[in-house]
């Protein structure tokens, strides 16, 4: 102590001051610490109190993922339960393009593990062009268990590639039903827009497919079902950790058809190599029993997008397999038109059944000779005979007597020239000629000479096989018309509720029963002693029919049509209409065999096989040939 007071050393004073200064600096840093921590606390307050709601929402959005669960699509079966469209579960290999750096290299790599055909690549390329980048697209479908196992082992090498278990649509009957059942396909942009407009898009959140044609398209609303929702907790990798809630999907309804798949098969095979169409209808209900358009195509090709090569093969084929001949193909009805012409004559009181004409083998009108195909003529011909022997002259004269517009008005009753309203799309109207029609179509007046060939189902006449079949069914059902419908009922698979399609008749034509009886008797005569007699020889049932031959090209005046001299695609179409049993018909049909010559020879045997199977359960031994 004394030392200090004696010697107030500079060093100690300095040291004191240094310490004070140091502590001052330390206090500054202390304030610095407090300030920064306060700042942190304010930030925490801002995040955790002020913005808490916002960040909670974000955290929930991170955590919860709402996954759609696609419903099972309803199946389609025929009247006996034969499967026409069903689903099966299989693995598919899918690539999400946005997650893959080099698509080509990835696919090449994949090809070393699972088989990837050039077809698969082409199809993938096409899908890629049509899709958004973040969608996953199938590169291979229906992988075998072994392939799946192999892929699982190498999975780590393929980010963005996934094996998914999915339900596939399959059409086990293939091309026989292609135009009828139709097919589904991947939803395209136009369909997305349409769904959005209809407010149905949310129901398609989990769906990749939609009905594109046929029944698949028309009954889409029923077949699709209701998409379910699953709320799952996911981790940062998007993997589901647990399910939070689940609304199960509701499966689509099943379609049960009026159609008899085996009858369809009999009809399809009866055509042999020929192109053509056949529509068979139950006259008492309008239910479609068979609906053939030949050739068909394999609808399974279209389900996951058809590859361009197969497409151009189908689209470019001269046989036009993509054309639905039964509803969208139009043909002159030829002589199958005659019974309806005769009925029109009775309807308008222009002929009595007994009234006969003398047929010299032609009808002269305006200096033009309309020939009968029997050169010498049929002699005296009354209404019965006119149908049974298919006399042209009788109908030339009749058409001329009736006039085109009365003919058109009568034929319209039977549905000629308008869509039948069958429950698949793509139907066309055909052409029912009239003065109005010609004015609208060609801006020209109708010439009386043009009416003559209309009488024998030629000229401007052009109808679909479906219209013809519907008209035959209406006739067979004594003028009570039903709308043809393929589906019998829609079955809700949960409630087992059945919704019947078209159970009521469309209209009664108001034709006198005695008039109809005249025509029906004549049609029975055709198969008994007329042009259909050979094809329908020795049937244990009584049938009614009418042959027809439709010209594809016009034959010059004075020339004779010789089949062997005409190119195949210019040969006449063979037609036949029929129903049976004659007294209480259960089947009415129209057949057209393209470029096959006479109806009696080519089309009637097809009808015979179909009716034989339908009534007797008899399976034909071979296609309905010329002999």
Partner 1 sequence: MPPVLRRLWRFLTMHIDGILLSAVLLLMFTGLLVLLSASNGSYMRVSGQLMNMLVALGVMWVFANIPPHYLMRLALPLFVLGCSLLIGVALFGEIANGARRWLHIGVTRIQPSELMKIAVPLMLAWYFNRNEASLKLRNYVLAALMLAFPVALIARQPDLGTALLITASGCYVIFLAGLSWRVIATLAVVGLGSLPFLWSALHDYQRQRILTLLDPTGDPLGTGYHTIQSTIAVGSGGLLGKGWMNGTQTHLDFIPERTTDFVFAVYAEEFGLLGNAVLLMLFLFLIARAMIITANAPTLFARLLAGAITLTFFTYAFVNMGMVAGILPVVGVPLPLISYGGTSLVSICLGFGILMSINTHKKLVQT
Active site residues: 335
- The smaller minimum CB distance to partner 1, of residues 27 and 439, is found at 27
Residue 39 Cβ vs partner 1, minimum distance, rounded to whole Å: 8
Among 12, 13, 31, 52, the residue binding partner 1 under the rule CB under 8 A is 52
Angular region, 174: left φ>0, alpha ψ -120 to 50, beta rest = left
Cβ within 8 Å of residue 195, ≥6 positions away: 187, 201, 204, 210
Query: Can residue 101 be called a binding residue for partner 1 (CB under 8 A)?
Result: no
Q: What is the CA radius of gyration of the chain?
A: 38
Residue 134 Cβ vs partner 1, minimum distance, rounded to whole Å: 13
Query: Can residue 1 be called a binding residue for partner 1 (CB under 8 A)?
Result: no
Stretch that binds partner 1, among 18-26, 304-312, 333-341, 511-519 (CB under 8 A): 18-26
- Euclidean distance between CA atoms 599 and 610, whole angstroms: 15
Tell me how far CA of residue 512 lies from CA of 356, 409, 435, 580, in angstroms: 21, 17, 27, 21
- Euclidean distance between CA atoms 277 and 264, whole angstroms: 11
Query: Can residue 44 be called a binding residue for partner 1 (CB under 8 A)?
Result: yes
Tell me how far CA of residue 557 lies from CA of 27, 256, 363, 539, 612, in angstroms: 123, 53, 13, 40, 41
* Terminal-residue alpha carbon distance, the chain: 146
Residue 86 Cβ vs partner 1, minimum distance, rounded to whole Å: 39
- Euclidean distance between CA atoms 342 and 516, whole angstroms: 10
- Euclidean distance between CA atoms 529 and 544, whole angstroms: 11
> Looking only at residues 485 through 524 of this chain, which bind partner 1 when binding is defined by CB under 8 A?
none
Which DSSP helix (H) or strand (E) runs through 547? strand 544-550
- The smaller minimum CB distance to partner 1, of residues 237 and 367, is found at 237
Among 118, 237, 540, 558, the residue binding partner 1 under the rule CB under 8 A is 237
- The smaller minimum CB distance to partner 1, of residues 45 and 447, is found at 45
* Interaction mask 22-41, partner 1, x per CB under 8 A: xx-xx--xx--xx-xx-xxx
- The smaller minimum CB distance to partner 1, of residues 15 and 112, is found at 15
Residue 98 Cβ vs partner 1, minimum distance, rounded to whole Å: 12
Among 7, 89, 101, 236, the residue binding partner 1 under the rule CB under 8 A is 236
Stretch that binds partner 1, among 78-86, 228-236, 287-295, 412-420 (CB under 8 A): 228-236
Among 45, 442, 447, 541, the residue binding partner 1 under the rule CB under 8 A is 45
Query: Can residue 312 be called a binding residue for partner 1 (CB under 8 A)?
Result: no
Residue 102 Cβ vs partner 1, minimum distance, rounded to whole Å: 20
Cβ within 8 Å of residue 113, ≥6 positions away: 147, 150, 151, 154
- Euclidean distance between CA atoms 169 and 241, whole angstroms: 30
Residue 117 Cβ vs partner 1, minimum distance, rounded to whole Å: 36
Q: For tokens 């479609």, name the residue.
A: 288
User: From edge to edge, which strands make up the β-sheet containing 240-247?
Assistant: 64-69, 228-234, 240-247
Residue 291's closest CA among 473, 432, 523? 473
Pairing of strands 254-257, 544-550: unpaired
Task: Return the HEC string of 368-406.
Answer: EEEECCCCCCCEEECHHHHHHCCCHHHHHHHHHHHCHHH
Residue 208 Cβ vs partner 1, minimum distance, rounded to whole Å: 26
Query: Can residue 13 be called a binding residue for partner 1 (CB under 8 A)?
Result: no
Query: Can residue 243 be called a binding residue for partner 1 (CB under 8 A)?
Result: no
* Interaction mask 391-410, partner 1, x per CB under 8 A: --------------------
Residue 302 Cβ vs partner 1, minimum distance, rounded to whole Å: 38
- The smaller minimum CB distance to partner 1, of residues 40 and 554, is found at 40
Angular region, 166: left φ>0, alpha ψ -120 to 50, beta rest = beta
- The smaller minimum CB distance to partner 1, of residues 51 and 312, is found at 51
Residue 133 Cβ vs partner 1, minimum distance, rounded to whole Å: 15
- Euclidean distance between CA atoms 188 and 200, whole angstroms: 15
Among 234, 284, 356, 533, the residue binding partner 1 under the rule CB under 8 A is 234
User: Which DSSP symbol is given to 280?
Assistant: E
Among 12, 58, 380, 553, the residue binding partner 1 under the rule CB under 8 A is 58
Query: Can residue 47 be called a binding residue for partner 1 (CB under 8 A)?
Result: yes
Q: Count of alpha carbons within 13 Å of 619, Cβ hemisphere only?
A: 4
Query: Can residue 56 be called a binding residue for partner 1 (CB under 8 A)?
Result: yes
Among 12, 31, 59, 192, the residue binding partner 1 under the rule CB under 8 A is 59
Structure tokens at 386: 């006119």
Structure tokens at 498: 């059945």
- Euclidean distance between CA atoms 200 and 193, whole angstroms: 10
- The smaller minimum CB distance to partner 1, of residues 22 and 447, is found at 22
Stretch that binds partner 1, among 19-27, 111-119, 120-128, 520-528 (CB under 8 A): 19-27
> Looking only at residues 275 through 294 of this chain, which bind partner 1 when binding is defined by CB under 8 A?
none
Query: Can residue 51 be called a binding residue for partner 1 (CB under 8 A)?
Result: yes
Angular region, 343: left φ>0, alpha ψ -120 to 50, beta rest = alpha
Among 12, 55, 80, 202, the residue binding partner 1 under the rule CB under 8 A is 55
How is 218-252 classified by DSSP, letter by letter? HTHHHHH-B-EEEEEEE-TTS-EEEEEEEE--BPP
Residue 51 Cβ vs partner 1, minimum distance, rounded to whole Å: 5
Query: Can residue 48 be called a binding residue for partner 1 (CB under 8 A)?
Result: yes
Residue 8 Cβ vs partner 1, minimum distance, rounded to whole Å: 18
Among 12, 16, 62, 358, the residue binding partner 1 under the rule CB under 8 A is 62
Among 1, 4, 6, 49, the residue binding partner 1 under the rule CB under 8 A is 49
Residue 241 Cβ vs partner 1, minimum distance, rounded to whole Å: 6
- Euclidean distance between CA atoms 71 and 462, whole angstroms: 43
Q: For tokens 């929930």, name the residue.
A: 60
- The smaller minimum CB distance to partner 1, of residues 47 and 537, is found at 47
Query: Can residue 20 be called a binding residue for partner 1 (CB under 8 A)?
Result: no
Query: Can residue 43 be called a binding residue for partner 1 (CB under 8 A)?
Result: yes
Query: Can residue 18 be called a binding residue for partner 1 (CB under 8 A)?
Result: yes
Stretch that binds partner 1, among 20-28, 290-298, 492-500, 608-616 (CB under 8 A): 20-28
Query: Can residue 12 be called a binding residue for partner 1 (CB under 8 A)?
Result: no
- Using an 8 Å Cβ cutoff, are 432 and 333 in contact? no
List of residues contacting partner 1 (CB under 8 A): 11, 18, 21-23, 25-26, 29-30, 33-34, 36-37, 39-41, 43-45, 47-49, 51-52, 54-56, 58-60, 62-63, 233-237, 241
């Amino acid at each position: 102590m004394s030392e200090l007071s004696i010697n107030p050393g500079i060093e100690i004073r300095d040291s004191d001051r240094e310490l004070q200064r140091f502590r001052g600096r330390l206090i500054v840093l202390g304030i610095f610490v407090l300030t920064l921590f306060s700042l942190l606390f304010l930030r925490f307050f801002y995040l955790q109190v002020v913005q808490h709601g916002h960040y909670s929402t974000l955290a929930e959005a991170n955590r919860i993922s709402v996954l759609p669960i696609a419903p099972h699509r309803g199946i389609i079966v025929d009247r006996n339960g034969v499967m026409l469209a069903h689903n099966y579960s299989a693995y598919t290999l899918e690539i999400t393009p946005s997650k893959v750096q080099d698509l080509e290299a990835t696919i090449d790599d994949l090809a070393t593990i699972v088989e990837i055909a050039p077809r698969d690549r082409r199809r993938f390329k096409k899908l890629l062009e049509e899709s958004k980048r973040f969608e996953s697209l199938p590169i291979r479908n229906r992988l075998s268990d072994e392939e799946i196992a192999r892929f699982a082992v190498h999975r780590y090498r393929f980010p963005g590639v996934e094996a998914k278990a999915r339900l596939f649509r399959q059409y086990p009957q293939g091309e026989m039903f292609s135009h009828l059942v139709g097919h589904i396909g991947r939803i395209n942009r136009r369909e997305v827009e349409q769904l959005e407009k209809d407010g149905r898009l949310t129901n398609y959140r989990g769906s990749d497919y939609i009905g594109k044609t046929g029944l698949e398209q028309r009954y889409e609303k029923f077949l699709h079902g209701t998409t379910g929702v699953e709320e799952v907790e996911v981790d940062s990798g998007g993997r589901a950790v647990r399910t939070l809630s689940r609304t199960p999907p509701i499966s689509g309804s099943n379609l049960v058809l009026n159609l008899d798949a085996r009858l369809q098969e009999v009809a399809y095979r009866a055509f042999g190599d020929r192109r053509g169409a056949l529509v068979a209808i139950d006259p008492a209900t309008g239910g479609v029993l068979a609906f053939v358009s030949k050739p068909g195509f394999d609808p399974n090709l279209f389900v996951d997008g058809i590859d361009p090569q197969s497409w151009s093969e189908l689209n470019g084929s001269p046989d036009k397999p993509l054309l639905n001949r039964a509803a969208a193909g139009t043909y002159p009805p030829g002589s199958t038109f005659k019974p309806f012409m005769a009925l029109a004559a009775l309807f308008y009181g222009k002929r009595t059944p007994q009234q006969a004409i003398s047929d010299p083998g032609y009808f002269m009108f305006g200096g033009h000779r309309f020939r009968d195909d029997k050169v010498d003529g049929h002699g005296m011909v009354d209404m019965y005979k006119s149908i049974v022997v298919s006399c042209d002259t009788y109908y030339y004269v009749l058409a001329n007597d009736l006039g085109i517009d009365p003919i058109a008005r009568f034929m319209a009753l039977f549905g000629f020239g308008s869509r039948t309203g069958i429950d698949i799309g793509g139907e066309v109207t055909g052409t029912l000629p009239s003065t109005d029609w010609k004015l609208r179509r060609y801006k020209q007046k109708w010439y009386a000479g043009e009416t003559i060939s209309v009488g024998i189902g030629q000229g401007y006449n052009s109808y679909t096989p479906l219209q013809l079949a519907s008209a035959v069914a209406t006739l067979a059902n004594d003028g009570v018309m039903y709308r043809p419908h393929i589906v019998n009922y829609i079955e809700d698979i949960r409630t087992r509720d059945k919704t019947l399609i078209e159970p009521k008749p469309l209209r009664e034509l108001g034709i006198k029963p005695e008039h109809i009886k005249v025509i029906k008797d004549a049609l029975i005569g055709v198969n008994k002693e007329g042009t259909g007699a050979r094809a329908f020889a020795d049937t244990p049932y009584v049938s009614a029919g009418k042959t027809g031959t439709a010209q594809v090209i016009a034959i010059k005046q004075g020339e004779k049509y010789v089949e062997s001299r005409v190119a195949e695609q210019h040969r006449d179409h063979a037609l036949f209409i029929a129903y049976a049993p004659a007294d209480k018909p259960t089947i009415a049909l129209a057949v057209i065999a393209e470029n096959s010559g006479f109806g009696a020879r080519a089309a009637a045997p097809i009808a015979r096989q179909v009716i034989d199977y339908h009534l007797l359960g008899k399976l034909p031994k071979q296609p309905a040939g010329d002999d």
